[in-house]
Amino acid sequence: MIVRNKFYINGQWVDPVGTGVLEVVDASTEEVIGTVPAGVAEDVDRAARAAATAFETWGMTTPRERQGYLKKLKDAMSARQEELGEVMACEVGMPV
């Protein structure tokens, strides 16, 4: 089971303000395959403020810099392709 107990906000893993937890369920088996924090309004506000700030900074990057960031993201996702595929398939109920 995958257990996440923090949110990734502003480039770091942070504790949620609220204490609620949501179960992630395999749509085909109804088995709980993970848990994530249930965000509250303060969590959303914190994430939205960070995103707004990041958007301003992102707007000042050159196309070449953006290309570099996107390549790093692609490489990271490719390195975990099998794991990501399995998790996404379970979330939507597809057989693996």
Overall average pLDDT of the 63-78 stretch:
98
Q: Which residues contact 40 (CB under 8 A, 6 or more apart)?
A: 16, 17, 18, 20
Record the pTM: 0.78
85 with 41, same domain: the answer is no
pLDDT of residue 27: 86
According to the model, what pLDDT value does residue 90 have? 87
CA distance 47 to 39: 10
Question: Which residue range is the domain that position 66 belongs to?
Answer: 62-91
Residue 96 lies in a domain: no
Judge whether 76 lies within some domain.
yes
Q: What is the largest CA-CA distance in the chain?
A: 46
Q: Are residues 42 and 80 located together in one domain of the fold?
A: no
For residue range 2-44, list pLDDT tens digits in order: 999 999 999 999 999 999 999 999 888 899 999 999 999 999 9
Q: Please tell me whether residues 9 and 44 are part of one structural domain.
A: yes
Query: What's the pLDDT band for 95 if we cut at 50, 70, 90?
Result: confident
Tokens describing residue 47: 């994430």
| Six-digit token string for 90 | 């379970």
37 and 48 share a domain? yes
Residue with tokens 């379970």: 90
Both 51 and 22 in one domain: the answer is: yes
Identify the three-state secondary structure at position 37: strand
